[in-house]
């Protein structure tokens, strides 16, 4: 069986892709690949200075592409709403909404609204942004919401009554795993609700395996704060990881491959899904708990103030 690569991405001319966290890592690789295939790419980033440098990189690879920038702090719901409004004013369609932005295992940090940073960025923001942009998605036949998940969902446990780690003692990695478990619960629940509403959008997820990105450093992960920790990460990268460009293939497959259906989960085809080429994989049984998914949906709506596809 042939292995899927960037060359297999169908022509994206006339299509619009919005990618959060697109100024580096998997997001930048995804933006570059889609731009080279003709898509209008909107890069939503926290820092416009870093985003402009990334935009120039994309245009170096795809000089004829249309690449736009929007500012958004994905940990701030007001910023997310403002970015969605700016996008909607400039675009009548949205073919690919790729929730790529994320933060991994930082020390306990709370947003201005009091939310735990990982939960706010990795779970609450994708829920809210999807709701804000649903009119553009439903106006676009064949549109897809792509949630970038993680192998970390396998060790995350969800406390529906303490999503923000207000009551429990905060632990960096369990908190990260919980956000990715929640993101997959959201992916599948969104798909069920889209189908029930008869909308033309598909909700899918992908994970990059163990890919080399700047996510550990950007999140302030504990290992990156010591010389020994950085050496351990470097050794893990050397022995187990794959380049970020390879890791991005899974989310690009989820976003563009013609055989992808709503509810699919894409990951690498190698040992333990750590590296390799895209294929359909399965997530742990807890991600398919429909009762928990409905509870999570309601809680996310309450916490974000964004309500959609109810009933």
From 176, 188, 210, 265, the catalytic residue: 176
Per-residue three-class SS string for the chain: CCCCCHHHCCCCCCCEEEEECCCCHHHHHHHHHHHHCCCEEEEEECCHHHHHHHHHHHHHHCCCCCEEEEECCCCCHHHHHHHHHHHHHHCCCCCEEEECCCCCCCCCCECCCCCEHHHHHHHHHHHHHHHHHHHHHHCCCCCEEEEECCHHHHHCCCCCCCCCCCCCCCCHHHHHHHHHHHHHHHHHHHHHHHHHHCCCCEEEEECCCCECCCHHHHHCCHHHHCHHHHHHHHHHHHHHCECHHHHCHHHHHHHHCCCCCCCCEEEECCHHHCCCCEEECCCCHHHHCHHHHHHHHHHHHHHHCCCCCCC
Is residue 308 annotated as a catalytic residue, yes or no?
no
Residues classed as catalytic: 176
């Amino acid at each position: 069986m042939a292995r899927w690569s960037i060359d297999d991405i169908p022509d994206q001319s006339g299509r619009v892709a919005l990618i959060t966290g697109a100024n580096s890592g998997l997001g930048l690789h995804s933006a570059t690949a889609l731009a080279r295939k003709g898509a209008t790419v909107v890069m939503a980033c926290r820092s416009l200075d870093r985003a402009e440098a990334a935009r120039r990189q994309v245009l170096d690879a795809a000089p004829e592409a249309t690449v736009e920038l929007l500012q958004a702090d994905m940990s701030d719901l007001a910023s997310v709403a403002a970015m969605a409004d700016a996008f909607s004013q400039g675009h009548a369609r949205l073919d690919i909404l790729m929730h790529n932005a994320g933060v991994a295992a930082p020390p306990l940090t709370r947003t201005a609204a009091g939310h735990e940073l990982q939960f706010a960025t990795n779970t609450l923001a994708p829920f809210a942004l999807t709701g804000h942009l649903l009119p553009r998605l439903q106006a676009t036949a064949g549109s897809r919401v792509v949630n970038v998940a993680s192998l970390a969902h396998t060790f995350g446990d969800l406390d529906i009554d303490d999503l923000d780690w207000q009551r429990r003692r905060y632990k960096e990695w369990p908190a990260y795993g919980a956000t990715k478990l929640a993101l997959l619960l959201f992916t599948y629940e969104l798909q069920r609700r889209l189908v029930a509403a008869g909308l033309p959008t598909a909700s899918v997820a992908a994970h990059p395996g163990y890919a080399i990105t700047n996510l550990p450093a950007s999140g302030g992960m504990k290992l990156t704060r010591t010389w020994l920790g950085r050496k351990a990460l470097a050794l893990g990268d050397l022995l187990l990881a794959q380049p970020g460009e390879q890791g991005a293939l899974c989310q690009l497959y989820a976003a563009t491959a013609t055989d992808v259906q709503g509810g699919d989960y894409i990951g690498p085809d190698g040992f333990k899904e750590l590296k390799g080429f895209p294929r359909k994989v399965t997530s742990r049984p807890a991600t398919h708990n429909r009762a928990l998914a409905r509870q999570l949906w309601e809680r996310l709506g309450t916490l974000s103030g964004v309500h959609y596809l109810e009933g």
